[in-house]
Structure 1
Amino acid sequence: MSRYYVNMNSQSNGDHEVHKYGCSYMPREENRIYLGNFDSCAPAVREAKKTYSQSNGCYYCAYACHTS
């Protein structure tokens, strides 16, 4: 299981990116919300959508959940 976080700051397209702990693109501590420990990115993105309906997996660390 991995720890997942969502970026509190949205991207230019409005997405709030979900990151796996350790990602080189992970937001600073003050700009992220801990989502929990998950086996994959899909449940992490579902959890993020409870706070930010427009959430998306990070291209680099959660590619399986990334949509263009």
Structure 2
Amino acid sequence: MKQNYYVNNNAQLNGDHEVHVSTCEYFPMMYNRTYLGGFETCQEAVREATKRYKKANGCIHCCRLCHTT
């Protein structure tokens, strides 16, 4: 089942831009996010986010499978 993914336009301290699903409790505010699209997996969404930002990472809360430290 596809989910809608977004990337936070504000980087974390380490330079990562976090990818979130729209239901995440840490979902960025409207003015701080960019819609990536509907994807089957978080890996696809993170790959899409790296087209916009050099470093992207899955949110530890909503995209745990794609989160790296």
Identity in percent: 54
Pairwise CA distance, 1:53: 1.3
| In structure 2, distance between residues paired with 1:21 and 1:53 | 22
Matches within 5 A, 1:52-63: 52-63=53-64
Structure 1 residue runs of 5 or longer lacking an equivalent are none
Q: What secondary structure is seen at the aligned counterpart in 2 of 1:50?
A: coil
| In structure 2, distance between residues paired with 1:67 and 1:58 | 9
Count matched residues.
68
Structure 2 residue runs of 5 or longer lacking an equivalent are none
User: Partner residue of 1:26?
Assistant: 27
| 1:19-54 superposed Cα distances (whole Å, 9 cap, x missing partner) | 011100010011000000001100000000000010
How high is the TM-score relative to the length of structure 1?
0.98
How high is the TM-score relative to the length of structure 2?
0.96
Q: Name the Cα RMSD after superposition.
A: 0.4
Q: Which runs of 4+ in 1 moved over 4 A?
A: none
| In structure 2, distance between residues paired with 1:65 and 1:21 | 16
User: Partner residue of 1:2?
Assistant: 3
